[in-house]
Amino acid sequence: MSTTHQTVPVALGDRSYDILIGDGLLARAGDLVKPHLKRPHTVIVTDENVARHHLDSLQGSLSKAGVSSDAVVLPAGEKSKSYATLAELCDRLLAAGVERRDTIIAFGGGVIGDLAGFAAAILRRGVNFIQIPTTLLAQVDSSVGGKTGINSPYGKNLIGAFHQPQLVLADLGLLKTLPRRELAAGYAEVAKYGLLGDRAFFDWLDKNVGKLFDGDLATIAEAVAVSCRMKARIVAEDETETGVRALLNLGHTFGHALEAATGYSQRLLHGESVAVGMVQAFRFSEKQGLCAPQLASRVAAHLKAAGLPTHTSDIPGELPPPAGLLELMRQDKKAVAGRLTFILVRGIGEAFIAKDVPDADVLAFLEEDRNRT
Ligand code: NAD
Ligand code: GLY
């Protein structure tokens, strides 16, 4: 464990904050968090798995810095991003005495970050919160940028708010307890940054992906820092996604349909849906003549080597036919007047926003893609 860390600033005027990235930050969390608190008390929101491995350490570190804490421990998994769990969480935060000037801590993966962040956005019309992300996915993506929310029966993340955290503490040491499958799911979002806007980073990942999965801390630190720097730059330019921020959704229009079709279940994790969706975005771009042939195969080979699914046939169980998947895509938040928006590519690191993609082209692609062996 080291006592050094990297700092990536997110420049958003009076809502600016830092992302701290390093090993051993949880042990220093009390001292790092305390300056952001108006009184020496906080409520931690976490899930059962994170609580089992790491809650004592966080509470111990807070206590050493003179900060008392309560904890709300919720069931793990995507199903907690629901109206029911949001209601339960808000009531438990009120029961714990959270006041307008208090700060809560979201301590977990993207599910806890999105849910606790949304509760913070609406509780007493908005309280402060700090993100302590515990999955690779949350450290490189969901804890940064202020998107918070829950799912609706109509689709994913459809109920939510932009609410920026005060601070993000990404302790790389926490990833040691993360199951391999979850690490790979998070890796899909790391690869996404290279694929959407940084070819040199993707080439670097190609060379270093093995070390990352072997737990080499310097490699993980570099991957997380490059990812966070790109996300911070894009969020600073377009906080509420009126333009360039949509690029962060590479693979998501295809992927969200697959996630909905598999019921947001263990059949397909969010990061896995992004992996399959990114390969589809590359294949669709190839079919539209937008990028050179064979790029999709290179991307698929890279993601497969990381242990990710790269084709719909890798997803266990039946999927709806192409027309059904297209219907599920219509709930995508990027849709305008029912027309879908896709993030397509001209090459590795060259994603762009494509509006007005004809439904017939998407349907023909999905038909062809499902028969691909
Ligand atoms: P998750 O929060 O469900 O965590 C994955 C699993 O790992 C859970 O079972 C959790 O209990 C467990 N876990 C977490 N940290 C652990 C640790 N250190 N050790 C052992 N187990 C641990 O899933 P996720 O992949 O982190 O996040 C997915 C969610 O993030 C989705 O809901 C997605 O929509 C959302 N997301 C949001 C944004 C955003 O900008 N807000 C961006 C990307 C994804
Ligand atoms: N994960 C997409 C975004 O934050 O915009």
Parallel/antiparallel/unpaired status of strands 103-108 and 41-47: parallel
Q: Which bound ligand lies closest to the C-alpha atom of 178?
A: 1
Interval 304-350: pLDDT, tens: 999 999 999 999 999 999 999 999 988 766 666 667 889 999 999 99
Whole-number Å distance, alpha carbon 137 to ligand 1 midpoint, is: 6
What mean pLDDT is predicted for residues 195-219? 98
Nearest by Cα to 144 from 243, 46, 248, 58: 248
Find the range with the poorest average confidence among 40-44, 132-136, 258-262, 339-343: 339-343
pLDDT at 356 (0 to 100) = 82
Question: Domain ranges in the chain?
Answer: 6-177, 188-370
Task: List Cβ neighbours of 105 (8 Å cut-off, separation of 6 or more).
Answer: 33, 42, 43, 44, 45, 58, 69, 116, 129, 130, 131, 132
> How far is the C-alpha of 47 from the C-alpha of 110, rounded, in Å?
11
Q: Which atom belonging to ligand 1 lies closest to the Cα atom of 185?
A: 25
Q: In the chain, pLDDT over 90 holds for what percent of residues? A: 92
| pLDDT at 160 exceeding the cut of 60 | yes
> How far is the C-alpha of 241 from the C-alpha of 237, rounded, in Å?
9
pLDDT at 243 (0 to 100) = 95
What CATH homologous superfamily does 188-370 map to?
Answer: Dehydroquinate synthase-like - alpha domain (1.20.1090.10)
What mean pLDDT is predicted for residues 218-240? 98
Which residue's structure tokens are 């999955």? 135
Q: Is 78 helix (H, G, I), strand (E, B) or coil?
A: helix
| pLDDT at 228 exceeding the cut of 90 | yes
pLDDT at 31 (0 to 100) = 98
Q: Which atom belonging to ligand 1 lies closest to the Cα atom of 114?
A: 41
Contact 223, 140 (CB under 8 A): yes
Residues in the ligand 1 pocket, defined by CB under 6 Å: 47, 49-50, 53, 76-78, 81, 108-112, 114, 134-135, 137-138, 141-142, 145, 147, 156-157, 174, 177-178, 182, 185, 270-271
> What residues are paired with 41 via a beta bridge?
68
pLDDT at 99 (0 to 100) = 96
Interval 76-117: pLDDT, tens: 999 999 999 999 999 999 999 999 999 999 999 999 999 999
- Full-model pTM: 0.97
| pLDDT at 2 exceeding the cut of 70 | no
Query: Dihedral through CA 93, CA 45, CA 334, CA 182, nearest 10?
Result: -160
Q: Is 339 helix (H, G, I), strand (E, B) or coil?
A: strand
**Architecture of the domain spanning 6-177:** 3-Layer(aba) Sandwich (3.40)
Q: Which residues are catalytic?
A: 125, 147, 189, 231, 241, 245, 249, 252, 256, 270
Contact 252, 343 (CB under 8 A): yes
Mean pLDDT of the chain: 96
2: left (phi over 0), alpha (psi -120 to 50) or beta: beta
